[in-house]
Amino acid sequence: MPASLGDLRIVDFSRVLAGPFATMLLADLGATVTKIERPGTGDDTRGWGPPYDERGQATYFQSVNRNKDSLTLDLRTDDGIARARELVAGADVVVQNFRPGLMDELGLGYDQLHAANPGLVYCSITGFGTGKGADLAGYDLLIQALGGLMSVTGQPDGEPQKAGVALVDVLSGLFAGVGILAALRHRDATGEGQHVEVNLLSSLLAALVNQSSGYTSGGIVPGRMGNAHPSVAPYEVLPCASGDLVLAVGNDRQFSVLCEHLAEPELAADARFATNSARVTHRAELREHLVRLLKERDAADWADTLTAARVPAGVVNDVAGAFRLAEQLGLDPIVGVPRGDGTEVRLPRNPIGLSATPPTYRSAPPPLADD
């Protein structure tokens, strides 16, 4: 099967999540990725467990390292540096997320490698950039705190909350992947590589989208609203006779249909609720009405009824329920990725659909190799 990036060679010095996530996505699209790891311990996430799979391997490591080869190099030695430079000389892309300046100290910085390989695309992922924030530790939880995400996550009267996954790392990995592909497109046209730089703080600020622009364009500093939305209502979690129902009503037509199925159509004509802006202004009053009406039935029952009426609604799934839903919808969310011994490891599918060159799943996350 043809692959979009089948002729691409990547040397991946990155560890943990943001960098490995970016290179795995490119590997899924056909790139050959050589993962450089520390002798003895390898990537930090090899030891990040539980949970572990049936073979005792950390599922964290498995989540971002399929379709790669592993090579251990001691970059503290001249031999390790020489071997790394040999690999990069024949590569198209380098990805690294060491502290700013370390790769330069090792003779593996962008300027040094670009001089030897002018077509090289070199991607650096840092926590806070390479200027005044160069010495700050770039951990996802810290970025979520410093970058404002925790200030808009959680209940208004509760403590700030982090997202349930290392969301900033994932977003930064996605931005890095886009930047690499853009640089490769430029190289196709000119023959020249370039330095792609992504930092976690800037990635988060960009990913705060409407919350960020509310501040930059409107001067509004958002706060925690629980499950409510600052600009749309009803768009939240509501209690029912049994269970909780999520309503994501995005326009006035959907709200009118909702009111019909709640057997109180006059709500849609009420001046306080007739438009989205009015509903946002009178959010608390609207919630009182909805809680009163929804308590007549179970959440799952409401979800079936409203979904059939094309009102966005659903129950709150756990992760197992989410995968079951995707399976019921025919999305095939799990792929079996082959190990060398003929067995498979089950991993989430790459969500990118390509009609001619779809993602492939050629090899399971590699064991730690001997040099």
Asked if residues 70 and 367 have their Cβ atoms less than 8 Å apart, the reply is: yes
Residues 183/240, Cβ–Cβ less than 8 Å: no
Supply the DSSP string of 293-315, one letter for each residue: HHTTS-HHHHHHHHHHTT--EEE
Residue 169 a catalytic site member: yes
DSSP string, 247-297: EE--SHHHHHHHHHHTT-GGGGGSTTTSSHHHHHHTHHHHHHHHHHHHTTS
| Residue closest to 12 by CA, chosen among 90, 66, 93, 118 | 93
Length of the chain: 371
Q: Say if residues 126 and 97 touch (Cβ distance below 8 Å).
A: yes
Q: Under 8 Å CB-to-CB from 31, ≥6 apart: which residues?
A: 5, 6, 8, 9, 10, 23, 93
As a whole number of angstroms, the distance between CA 125 and CA 104 comes to 14
Q: What is the DSSP string of 68-101?
A: EEEEE--TTSHHHHHHHHHHHHT-SEEEE-SPTT
φ and ψ of 65, to 5 deg:
-135, 20
Q: What residue spans of the chain are helical by DSSP H? A: 18-28, 59-62, 78-89, 102-105, 110-116, 140-146, 167-190, 200-207, 209-216, 252-261, 276-281, 283-294, 299-308, 319-328
Query: Of residues 12, 78, 169, 298, which has the active-site annotation?
Result: 169
Q: Are the C-beta atoms of 73 and 83 separated by less than 8 Å? A: yes
Catalytic residues: 169
